[in-house]
Structure formats: structure tokens, C-alpha cells
Amino acid sequence: MAEKMGIYKCEICGNVVGVLEAHEGELVCCEKPMVLQEEKTAAQEGKEKHVPVIEKTDSGVKVTVGSVNHPMEDKHYIVIIQLMKGDKMLTCKKLFPGDEPVAEFNVEYSDDLVAREYCNLHGLWKS
Ligand SMILES: [Fe+2]
């Protein structure tokens, strides 16, 4: 069974998918089960910074990946930033090489907001 809001990767071709609704079926790509990406946190942080930082702004919320801006190069970049509350995704921003690793959302700030981001090389991270 797929995990709601799970992000899965094919370890053969590199396809990455996000689950919006979870049901019984297994996610398969290149004839192999896709792999659920673990949400990494500050505990797994190395010298390169991936953990999203949430700030309250006048108009809502700003999320920056990480405490030092993550690279946004053709071969290594942040693919998406998601803003979550519990297991609900409130909103998200798709990013591309050359963008800033930043997303501003017109969402009321609260202490229980969680940000996630997916790096094309280093996987899924959450605040
Ligand atoms: Fe990275």
C-alpha cells in the first residue's frame, strides 16, 4: 500500500512520484517496487544544508532551503518545497535550476507548520 503524501523513487530510472491519495496498490516502475523516501531531518544533516527553515512574514510564510542556500544547478537542485500541517499538504512550489531555493506562501503562520523539500541528489528533508 502506498503511503499518503509519500514520495517514491525508482532506483533504476530515477522517476520520482508523490502520492496524493493512498490505496492498496504497490507503486512499480521499471518492473521493480518504487522506494519510499525517508524524511531526513537535522539529525542527518551533513555539511551541505538541506533542512527547510520556516519564517513568519507579513503576508504569510517563507521557506528557505537550508540555513545556507542550497545549490540550484542543472545537476543538483531542489525540486519542490511543500508546506504541510500534519499529514495535509497545504501548498507547494515547484523549483527549477537557477531559481532561488525559497518559497513564499500566503498561509497563516502557526507553530505546527512543517516544510518538506526534495533534493534531486540527496532526497527528502523536513523541518
Ligand atoms: Fe542536495
CATH number, domain with residue 72: 2.60.40.730
Q: What domain range includes position 19?
A: 7-36
Cα dihedral 19, 35, 82, 88, rounded to 10, equals 40
19, 66: one domain: no
46 C-alpha vs ligand 1 centroid, how far in Å?
Answer: 10
Does residue 69 contact residue 83 with C-beta atoms inside 8 Å? no
- As for how many domains the chain has, the answer is 2
Q: For the segment 21-57, what is each residue's pLDDT rounded down to a tens digit?
A: 999 999 999 999 999 999 999 888 876 789 999 999 9
73 C-alpha vs ligand 1 centroid, how far in Å?
Answer: 10
Amino acid identity of residue 64, one-letter, is T
Instruction: Using pLDDT thresholds of 50, 70 and 90, give the confidence band for residue 116.
Output: very high
82 C-alpha vs ligand 1 centroid, how far in Å?
Answer: 16
Residue 74 DSSP symbol: T
In a domain, 115, yes or no: yes
118 C-alpha vs ligand 1 centroid, how far in Å?
Answer: 8
What is this structure's pTM?
A: 0.92
> How many residues would you count in the chain?
127
- Region 59-63: mean pLDDT is 97
120, 62: one domain: yes
